[in-house]
Structure 1
Amino acid sequence: MGNEPSGRGVSTSVVHAFEILDQVAAAGSEGITLAALSGGASKARSTTHRYVTTLLQLGVLCRDDGGRLHLGARLLALATELLDGDILRSVAKPILATLGAETGETVHLGVPTGGQITYIDKVESSHSVRLVSGIGHQIALYCTSMGKAVLSRLPPEDLDAVLASPRPAVTAHTLTGRDELLAELARIRASGVSMDAEENELGVCCVGAAVVDRRSRPVAAISVSGPAARMTASRRAEIAPLVRDAARAIEEALGYRGRVPAPVPGAPTEASR
């Protein structure tokens, strides 16, 4: 393995595991046998077998019908996560910049991770009084505009799993009851936009929308956020179509065919809530 790390704090087990991955990768589509792998690795056959067994269980390696080893689908999934995140940011950046210029407020791009939303990009507000946030910051699903937008597009079984978790009140405006949250998600699903009226942070209001893939699964979300004094109900209603259109533009730029549904006639608007 080239450029093998050395020194304090380096795990030799991890190093040897990557030695194995490098050898399997070098074998190409034909794969490699355990015997050949043991001969080339720096550890004895029994140790190599133990590493391989673990890597197989993790899905990092796989074995074909002939017993030859290949790189596993888990590596592809991890690489896809990295590439998708980079591509998503690259594609969304000019759209987010336009949305920021149109609204004058802070714009976020986030992805669902481990039951939360993680910010992966941001456009700062042009106002001197603005929302304080940072890339990598995580927010809850049930009480934020981006989170609720994502929840509104989840399949029923996935939504049930999320709603089975505790939902403590973050502010006096947080929706914590299952029925009231389901009703809120139905409104979001109908209108294509979600609202956070000081549900996650007092003095801050947001308008969000989900970015969905070809199968209408939520892969990301965007939001426009600002102080409640500026983000009044009427202002949120003005911003809502801009956010919805921006989410749709990101979907189209990514080559997705999912579409945010048009508002349902008679559905409650933000101003009427």
Structure 2
Amino acid sequence: MAQGTKEYSVPALEKAIAILNALAASELSISDLHSQLKLPKTTTFVILNTLEQHEIIRKTPEGKYRLGPGVLRWGNRYFDSMDMVQIARPHLERLVEEKPYTCHLAVLIGDKPVYCDKVEGSGFVRFATMIGQSQPLHQSSVGKALAAGLSDDDIRSLLPDAMDASTGKSIRSIEKFLEEVQFVRENGFAIEDEEFEEGVRCIGAPIRNYTGNIVASLSITALSKDLPAVKFMVIGEEVKQTAALISRDLGYNGGNIRHSVTETKSMGNKP
């Protein structure tokens, strides 16, 4: 268990994890799992059936179970996000250096953006966000930026008809959210103006990989007084350029990338 984590547990989840660990070693039948893990057959069957529905495991023609493609998707997303964190970190640090902003890096997991890195700027305010935390797709700039890589139909399928509203400025309709996503597609950055929390604004931008697909997004978060509306376009361009530099480092060749002063100096006289 991770250091500092309280010893809470969910029995059914503990059993499912035990089953997955056993299947990671070899293909096993229900009887094998029952004998090896000392689990009731009924419980084992219910857990296996649930895991199979989500493609986390698969049943072989011989009646045994093995890990499924769902596990591979998790693994690939984990490794992709870890590589991305290492690549993106220097760019995030430069973006918020000597500025009262906090920078977040996020990936889309299911229907929500999830933070996979966070860099604090020089401001006195520290936002209570953390790596692994998810944000609403329609109430976050990282969510809007990630949604720009989806089709409108896919976006509709991810959002409920009755959308949660955290503040008076929250987006309440799918059509309005689609307008915000179109703004990202046309301008390259997203604005979240006190839609999730009053007094807090964010500007985000999509990050692309070598195929041109949007695989992540970054954002700066600030108090409204430190990010006035008159600066949206200027700061938006800075955030967009940072996302473009990260995209370049991930192998993306498209887009107009302008090097920052700091990076240009570090490149010396390279052509």
Same fold (TM over 0.5): yes
Give distance in 2, aligned partners of 1:70 and 1:260: 46
The residue that corresponds to 1:75 in the other structure is: 71
Note the C-alpha offset of 1:129.
3.3
Letter in 1 for 2:127: L
The residue that corresponds to 1:185 in the other structure is: 181
Give distance in 2, aligned partners of 1:20 and 1:251: 37
The residue that corresponds to 1:129 in the other structure is: 125
The residue that corresponds to 1:231 in the other structure is: 227
Matched, 1:23 2:26: yes
Choose 104-113 or 166-175, whichever is displaced more: 166-175
Matched, 1:84 2:87: no
The answer to whether the 8 Å contact 2:100/2:226 transfers is no
Matched, 1:111 2:98: no
The answer to whether the 8 Å contact 1:216/1:259 transfers is no
Give distance in 1, aligned partners of 2:252 and 2:111: 23
5+ residue gaps in structure 2? 1-8, 258-271
Higher Cα Rg, which structure: 1
The residue that corresponds to 2:3 in the other structure is: none
Number of corresponding residues: 243
* Alpha carbons of structure 1 residues 43 and 127: separation in structure 2 relative to 1, 3 Å: closer
Give distance in 2, aligned partners of 1:9 and 1:242: 44
The answer to whether the 8 Å contact 1:244/1:260 transfers is no
Give distance in 1, aligned partners of 2:169 and 2:15: 52
5+ residue gaps in structure 1? 1-7, 25-32, 262-273
Instruction: Note the aligned Cα RMSD (angstroms).
Output: 3.8
The residue that corresponds to 1:202 in the other structure is: 198
Letter in 2 for 1:98: R
The residue that corresponds to 1:250 in the other structure is: 246
Give distance in 2, aligned partners of 1:197 and 1:9: 38
Letter in 2 for 1:92: A
Letter in 2 for 1:160: R
